[in-house]
């Protein structure tokens, strides 16, 4: 039978409303548009519209992301679009341990959770805690610690940020690398505390630049930590373009360790017009 994302999500919503803890899977996040009404106008709003008397504990797993030459309709990072919808929680693990901890938390949450799994990370190996293991939402992970530049990112770009930070460390530039883990709710405190220390911010985001997660975090820091900034905020994002199929073009389209490193070096070299 044909795959029907609207039916999958609609059935999961009905099961959740009737007392189950539903888990649905959308094979490619790119197809979320087919079931967007179920997500945007239904499950995200049930608790609000019924005065808190109903719950919709549904977890929707979505495979996303570029880097595997899957072309424009199977490679998109749409988490920013869904993060903008009130009533939804959005999680994006970057390690095997985080996948377990965040997914367990998602399933036990009484609100709907969109659980984004980057297809390029499915082959990653790592230690996973035995037994009961939960990671609270809005609890970012400090991947590297440093005093010069804050790098905020998520998903597969965490590994890229780590590589960039290791290269920069060889030249004495210390990077505070933050994996946000969840974009809604967002651990604002971790980001702002880091920027207060470093005074420089690079946000690496796989989604296109317009109305992106990078733009959202940059706006947050500009609003709440502007006085701490020593340089402009740098956003390293995908291009404002459909994801290319050709390997060379896709590589140019995506953020990379080199692009993150270059952005950090630009911030370190920045001197304001009034600086001596």
**Residue 121 contacts residue 94 (beta carbons within 8 Å):** yes
Question: Does residue 74 carry a catalytic annotation?
Answer: yes
* Best CATH choice for the domain 141-269 from the list 3.40.50.920, 3.40.50.410, 3.90.1010.10, 3.60.20.10: 3.40.50.920
Span 34-45, pLDDT tens digits: 999 999 999 999
Instruction: Write down the pLDDT at residue 140.
Output: 98
CA distance 37 to 114: 14
* Best CATH choice for the domain 5-121 from the list 3.40.190.290, 3.40.50.970, 3.40.50.300, 3.20.20.60: 3.40.50.970
Domain coordinates in residue numbering, the chain:
5-121, 141-269
Instruction: Write down the pLDDT at residue 275.
Output: 52
List the beta bridge partners of residue 58: 22
Buried b (16+ CB within 10 A) or exposed e, 52-68: eeebbbbbbbbbbbbbe
Active-site residue, from 74, 118, 139, 240: 74
**Residue 72 contacts residue 242 (beta carbons within 8 Å):** yes
pTM, full prediction: 0.95
Span 146-188, pLDDT tens digits: 999 999 999 999 999 999 999 999 999 999 999 999 999 999 9
Question: CA dist 176 to 147, 179, 216, Å?
Answer: 7, 10, 19
Instruction: Write down the pLDDT at residue 142.
Output: 97
92 pLDDT more than 60 = yes
Instruction: Write down the pLDDT at residue 2.
Output: 67
How many other CB atoms are found less than 10 A from the CB of residue 152?
29
The answer to whether the 5-121 and 141-269 domains have the same CATH topology is yes
Q: Where are the beta strands (DSSP E) in 19-170?
A: 22-26, 58-64, 89-91, 113-118, 141-144, 149-153
The tokens describing 162, both together, are: 């780590």
Unique residue bearing structure tokens 């370190």: 268
């Amino acid at each position: 039978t044909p795959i029907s994302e609207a039916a999958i999500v609609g059935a999961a919503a009905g099961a959740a409303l009737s007392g189950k803890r539903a888990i649905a899977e959308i094979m490619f996040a790119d197809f979320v548009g087919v079931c967007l009404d179920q997500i945007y106008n239904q499950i995200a709003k049930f608790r609000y519209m019924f005065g808190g008397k109903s719950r919709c504990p549904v977890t929707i797993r979505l495979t996303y992301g570029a880097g595997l030459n899957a072309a424009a309709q199977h490679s998109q990072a749409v988490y920013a679009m869904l993060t903008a919808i009130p009533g939804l929680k959005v999680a994006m693990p970057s390690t095997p341990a985080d996948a377990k901890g965040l997914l367990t938390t998602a399933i036990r949450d009484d609100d709907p959770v969109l659980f984004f799994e980057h297809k390029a990370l499915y082959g990653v190996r790592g230690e996973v805690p035995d037994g009961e293991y939960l990671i609270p939402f809005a609890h970012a992970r400090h991947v590297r610690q440093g005093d010069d530049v804050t790098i905020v990112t998520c998903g597969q770009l965490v590994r890229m940020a780590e590589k960039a930070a290791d290269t920069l460390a060889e030249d004495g530039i210390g990077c505070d690398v933050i994996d946000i883990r969840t974009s809604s709710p967002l651990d604002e405190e971790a980001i702002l505390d880091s920027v207060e220390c470093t005074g420089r911010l690079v946000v690496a985001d796989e989604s296109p630049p317009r109305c992106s997660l990078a733009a959202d975090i940059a706006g947050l820091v500009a609003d709440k930590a502007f006085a701490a900034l020593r340089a402009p905020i740098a956003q390293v994002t995908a291009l404002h373009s459909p994801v290319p199929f050709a390997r060379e073009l896709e590589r140019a389209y995506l953020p990379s360790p080199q692009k993150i490193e270059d952005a950090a070096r630009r911030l370190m070299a920045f001197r304001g017009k009034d600086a001596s």
